[in-house]
Amino acid sequence: ETGVTQTPRHLVMGMTNKKSLKCEQHLGHNAMYWYKQSAKKPLELMFVYNFKEQTENNSVPSRFSPECPNSSHLFLHLHTLQPEDSALYLCASSQDEGVNTEAFFGQGTRLTVV
Amino acid sequence: GENVEQHPSTLSVQEGDSAVIKCTYSDSASNYFPWYKQELGKRPQLIIDIRSNVGEKKDQRIAVTLNKTAKHFSLHITETQPEDSAVYFCAASNGWGKLQFGAGTQVVVTP
pLDDT in tens, A48-73: 998 888 888 888 999 999 999 998 99
* Alpha carbon of A64: minimum distance to chain B alpha carbons (Å): 19
Q: Chain B: residue nearest A94 by CA?
A: B97
Measure A91 CA to nearest chain B CA, in Å: 10
Flag if B31 and A100 touch (Cβ within 8 Å). yes
pLDDT of amino acid B96: 66
Using a CB-CB cut-off of 8 Å, the residues of chain A touching B95 are 98, 100
User: Cβ of A100 and B95 within 8 Å?
Assistant: yes
Burial of B50 (0-12, 13-18, 19+ CB in 10 A): buried
The closest CB to that of A48, out of B32, B46, B98, belongs to: B98
Residue B72 class from Cβ within 10 Å (0-12 exposed, 13-18 middle, 19+ buried)?
Answer: middle
| Mean pLDDT of the A74-79 span | 97
Phi-psi domain of A55 (left: phi exceeds 0; alpha: psi -120 through 50; beta: other): alpha
What pLDDT is stored for residue B54 in this prediction? 85
CB contact under 8 A, A98 and B97: yes
pLDDT surpasses 90 at A75:
yes
Q: How far apart are CA B83 and CA B12, in angstroms?
A: 13
pLDDT attached to residue A99: 67
Residues of chain A with pLDDT > 70, as a percent, come to 95
At position B80, the amino acid (one-letter code) is T
Q: Specify the higher pLDDT residue, B52 or A79.
A: A79
Q: For residues A74 and A93, what is the distance between their CA atoms, to the nearest angstrom?
A: 10
End-to-end CA distance of chain A: 30
Above 70 in pLDDT, residue B43? yes
pLDDT above 90 for B110: yes
Residues of A in contact with B45 (CB under 8 A): 105
State how far residue B82 is from chain A, nearest Cα, in angstroms: 22
Cis peptide before A69 (omega within 30 of 0): no
Residue B100: pLDDT above 60? yes
pLDDT of residue B64: 98
Res. B97 pLDDT band, cuts 50 70 90: low
Confidence of residue B15 (pLDDT cuts 50, 70, 90): very high
Rounded CA gap, B111 and B99, in Å? 34
- For residue A15, what pLDDT is reported? 93
Q: What is the pLDDT of residue A98?
A: 66
Contact criterion met (CB below 8 Å) for B10 and B105:
yes
Note whether B87 and B104 are within 8 A (CB): yes
How high does pLDDT run on average in chain A? 91
Between these two residues, A52 and B60, which has the higher pLDDT value?
B60
How large is the average pLDDT for residues B29-44?
92
Nearest CA in chain A to B44: A105
Give yes or no for residue B23 having a pLDDT over 70.
yes
